Amino acid sequence: MVFSAGTNGSPAFKDDANMQTRIRPLLLVALVLLTWALPVGATEPLPLPDYRTESWFLPAGPGVTSGPVAGLFNPGAFGMTARAGTDLWYRRTAGTDLDQYGFALGRTLNFAVMGHEFAVDGDVARVWDFQLGLAHGNRRHSAGLGFRWATGATGRSPRQNSLILGSIERNRWMSWGSSAAFSLQSGAAQYLFDLGLRPFGRPWLTLNGDWTLVDGQRVFQDGVWGAGLEVRPWQGIALGMRARERASGDVDVAAVAGVTLGATGFWALPGFDAQGNDLGTAWLVRSQPTRAGMDPRALPVPIDRPRRTYRTLNLEHQYLTYQKYRYFDQRHLPWLDLLPRLEAMRDDPYLDVVAINLAGFSGRPSLLWEFRDQLRQIHEAGKEIVIHADRLNAGTLYVASVADRLSLDPQGQIAIPGVALARSYLKGTLEKMGLGFQAHHYLKYKSATETLSHDRMSDADREQRGRIVDVAYETWRGGITAGRRLTPASYDELVDGQTWLTAPEALAAGLADTLARWDGLLQWLQRDRHAGLASASALSNDSYPDEQWGRPPRIPVVFAVGACAMDDGINGRATSAYLRSLVHDDGVKAVVLRVDSPGGEVLPSDLVAAAVSDLRRAGKPVIISQGDVAASGGYWMSMNGTEILTTPLTITGSIGVISGWLWDDGFAAKLGVTSDEVHRGDHADLFTTVSIPLLGRIPRRPMSSGELDRMRDLILGMYDGFLAKVAAGRGLDITAVDAVAQGRVWMGQDAIAHGLCDRVGGLADAIALARSRAGIASWQQVELPEYPPRPLIKTPDLPNIPSLFGMTELIAGNLVTTESAQPIAATPLPDERPLGLPLIQAEFLQSVVAAPGQALVVMDPDLLPQAWLDTE
């Protein structure tokens, strides 16, 4: 997969290709046209660096060359690069021993120096030109400006302080650059336009030309032309030529030969006049070149290299999740940050060993499955994997078991107690307190309210919980036994007989290969395996703007994580608006929606699902990638996707609707609290409450039989609507959907068997499928902008102080309230909850609070094993 990450801090609806960036080059062109109209006369000699005679170190025009070296004649070229670089050049004029040399560096803030020597009355004089500038842009368009000044023999070779402006526009087939340099001390000016064409839309062949004018010259009748071409027969090799007209009408030419090795590029440009006389050779060296280079390890040179090479991946105390704070967050590791590193290792033909430190590592269960799957692909690509860990549980041991050699800390341990699901029932507690509860429970498996209405597990709930336990246990056991070459029976014996294994016990049981620490594992690699550390540049998966002109097609990755709520959790209002904004964005070719939600309110779920349908009607595939849980409202958001990918550990389905009502059944009277009310409307008093000191407000009465009948009609009507939407989205018969619905949760493979999902796969598979569905060629780079934008700064965690009895308020029939689920829209990051509740349980309670007495599409968070609840 070839991709580049998007800008995480971009605004919600507009990325770098916003309107201001679009019009900036147009404003620059307008400024240039305006200066042409000024009544000035030609200034000779030109008191500015002259592109016509002083740019023979450029392989092509500045707009085509891009990068720091081109920024001296078009400061917009600085903004075309992915990062700051440094370019150096040197040219000696044949037969004169006169030199030209310089360097340029930077990106947004940039600086360039060019020195050249010239002969005056038999003496050699030197002039130094300096340029300090700013640039901004991306691979599609950029603009910049710079201030120039000079030192040295400026009296012999006139130089004036000047201002230069430039812009570059690119698409896949064409590059257009324009710049204008103006003296700040006279009317002297120089205008440069250069054009690049790629007939095949690929870097194999590039044609380029430029047109230079000075003040006082007419646009079409005067000026000096330049032209050239470049071919790239192999990656890292460039051959071509340049030609430029002299003021006399003669034409000078230069051959162009370039080699890019790793992160360094080398160019030689020997020049000749029209009679074939040598004009001198220019040499150019570029760091951070704009094109992909050859791997230096592929060169047949007699270098003493290690027989084997390895790369390290230190994930100590990292938590694998979706996003992180951009600053001061060392704990969280976004999957989209780790994924390209793993793919680069997998695809590196010169890498032999991958060494990974998993000490203190943990993560979301679905991402641990995806991580192991990527490690499996690395192993199948012929790489050896060695892993170090200190404390492992079933989930992290599942990841580590893919290793050829697993090192465990001598003081470490492995905990494999098995998988259990338990829940507490509060029916008796409510009765003793004097609180009544009515469960609006009309679907067999929809068990979210049973904790308040039952005193033991129902048969239907026991059935679905048993399946979750079995699948989680067997998935982990299958991976661990396959990787560690154990039998299922021997693993069961360890679970049932030992549960917690010390490091020596784990070694004896075959769960580890050696006892050592991270540095000891690296020493073993170097001493016993004779492996040397591979060069970092060989694993670079950077974006090279010259390999693909213009901005690459975009596949936004949208995270819908948390409870289905309007303004927190998945932030249905903002997330659906963002998805709708992509409908008319021509640069967006497909969308990946990562759903990790137990459900909640109907409205935000339906807003997101409707936006998914809008994208599909616009011809843009939407690939759904399900995470730890995509149930009830989470499945509602999934059902309209082009394809739904799930994992074996994903809990999905739960197609159903539920509600409940909590009221004062004597609790207030026990405390001596009385209340009274007046109302108009037969049911207005249903929502009146009695206020209990320190606890809050509780509805005064239960629902009447008529109100319960109305609630039943509402819930079953919504359920029928849910079934119809699933049937339409999945192309199924409503009867078939009802047979696997009734609120039943399914594990990923089961959901595929019942037609609720399409295939097993992770986020990487979803991105690859989105590329394929959008018709994006495998050689093309793609951008993966994330939504929501990553938050800026992680602040210190503050302790939570629970309220009396561990409850904050009793509002409109709901036992507990919680704080806002997320600090910003849909941020899938940890947020401490009152009472120390896990994220998903707190968001479930919040969903109930947000919709008192209303129907909800939410699954019971108690259905999740502990590993699913312990997400950060």
The partner residues of 663 in beta bridges, in order of sequence, read 436
pLDDT of amino acid 120: 75
Judgement on whether residues 510 and 584 belong to the same structural domain of the protein: no
pLDDT of amino acid 869: 60
The DSSP secondary structure of 225-283, one letter per residue, reads EEEEEEE-SSTTEEEEEEEEE-TTS-EEEEEEEEEEETTEEEEEEEEE-TT--EEEEEE
Judgement on whether residues 286 and 305 belong to the same structural domain of the protein: no
Judgement on whether residues 363 and 243 belong to the same structural domain of the protein: no
Nearest CA to 605 out of 654, 532, 668 is that of 654
- Look at 560 and 120; give whichever has higher pLDDT: 560
Judgement on whether residues 500 and 528 belong to the same structural domain of the protein: yes
638 neighbors 748 (Cβ within 8 angstroms): no
CA distance 870 to 737: 32
Q: How is residue 276 written in tokens?
A: 């074939």
Residue 869 lies in a domain: no
Residue 5 lies in a domain: no
The partner residues of 858 in beta bridges, in order of sequence, read 599
CA distance 245 to 251: 4
Residue 379 lies in a domain: yes
Give 494-506 pLDDT, tens digit per residue: 999 999 999 999 9
Q: How is residue 607 written in tokens?
A: 């807003």
Question: Residue 79: which domain range?
Answer: 15-294
pLDDT of amino acid 536: 60
Residue 825 lies in a domain: no
User: Please, which residues have CB within 8 angstroms of residue 33's CB and are 6 or more apart in sequence?
Assistant: none
CA distance 114 to 129: 5
Residues 185, 189, 190, 193, CA torsion sign: positive
Q: How is residue 534 written in tokens?
A: 């591979």
DSSP 310: E
What mean pLDDT is predicted for residues 233-254? 92
Judgement on whether residues 426 and 529 belong to the same structural domain of the protein: yes
pLDDT of amino acid 839: 52
pLDDT of amino acid 517: 96
Number of domains into which the chain is organized:
3
What mean pLDDT is predicted for residues 734-742? 96
User: Please, which residues have CB within 8 angstroms of residue 591's CB and are 6 or more apart in sequence?
Assistant: 555, 556, 558, 579, 582, 615, 620, 621, 622, 623, 770
> pLDDT band at residue 21, thresholds of 50, 70 and 90?
very low
Give 800-831 pLDDT, tens digit per residue: 433 333 232 333 333 322 222 332 333 333 33
Domain finish residue from 539, 574, 602: 539
CA distance 772 to 4: 17
pLDDT of amino acid 860: 65
User: Does the pLDDT at position 313 exceed 80?
Assistant: yes
Nearest CA to 859 out of 868, 644, 867 is that of 868
Q: How is residue 844 written in tokens?
A: 């479930």
Judgement on whether residues 400 and 324 belong to the same structural domain of the protein: yes
pLDDT of amino acid 803: 34
Q: Which of 9-13, 178-182, 207-211, 738-742 has the lowest mean pLDDT?
A: 9-13
Query: 3-class SS at 327?
Result: strand
User: Please, which residues have CB within 8 angstroms of residue 559's CB and are 6 or more apart in sequence?
Assistant: 322, 323, 594, 596, 786, 787, 788, 826, 828
**Angle separating helix axes 365-380 and 763-774, nearest 10 degrees:** 70
CA distance 400 to 521: 14
pLDDT of amino acid 868: 61
Nearest CA to 82 out of 536, 540, 534 is that of 540
What mean pLDDT is predicted for residues 605-614? 97
What mean pLDDT is predicted for residues 69-76? 96
User: Does the pLDDT at position 31 exceed 70?
Assistant: no
User: Does the pLDDT at position 42 exceed 90?
Assistant: no
> pLDDT band at residue 187, thresholds of 50, 70 and 90?
confident
Helix or strand run (H / E) with residue 644: strand 643-646
pLDDT of amino acid 153: 86
Judgement on whether residues 94 and 45 belong to the same structural domain of the protein: yes
**Residue 525 CB neighbour total at 10 angstroms:** 22
Judgement on whether residues 316 and 251 belong to the same structural domain of the protein: no
What is the chain's percent helix, strand, coil content, to nearest 5?
30, 30, 40
> pLDDT band at residue 796, thresholds of 50, 70 and 90?
low
Residue 109 lies in a domain: yes
Q: Which of 176-190, 597-611, 668-682 has the lowest mean pLDDT?
A: 668-682
Q: Which of 66-80, 239-253, 720-734, 827-841 has the lowest mean pLDDT?
A: 827-841
Domain finish residue from 511, 539, 567: 539
> pLDDT band at residue 543, thresholds of 50, 70 and 90?
low
Residue 3 lies in a domain: no
Give 193-230 pLDDT, tens digit per residue: 999 999 999 999 999 999 999 987 776 678 899 999 99
352 neighbors 310 (Cβ within 8 angstroms): yes
Q: Write the CATH number for 313.
A: 3.90.226.10
Judgement on whether residues 289 and 306 belong to the same structural domain of the protein: no
User: Please, which residues have CB within 8 angstroms of residue 29's CB and are 6 or more apart in sequence?
Assistant: 167, 178
Judgement on whether residues 651 and 710 belong to the same structural domain of the protein: yes
- Look at 146 and 694; give whichever has higher pLDDT: 146
Portion of the chain with pLDDT greater than 70, in percent: 84
Judgement on whether residues 246 and 387 belong to the same structural domain of the protein: no
pLDDT of amino acid 808: 29
> pLDDT band at residue 479, thresholds of 50, 70 and 90?
very high
- Look at 143 and 663; give whichever has higher pLDDT: 143
Residue 45 lies in a domain: yes
What mean pLDDT is predicted for residues 656-662? 88
Judgement on whether residues 44 and 93 belong to the same structural domain of the protein: yes
Residues 721, 725, 731, 737, CA torsion sign: negative
Full-model pTM: 0.86
Residue 566 lies in a domain: yes
DSSP 832: -
CA distance 728 to 493: 47
For the chain, report the end-to-end CA distance as a whole number of angstroms: 28
Q: Are strands 622-631 and 643-646 parallel, antiparallel or unpaired?
A: parallel
pLDDT of amino acid 451: 85
Domain finish residue from 249, 276, 294: 294
CA distance 153 to 118: 10
pLDDT of amino acid 103: 96
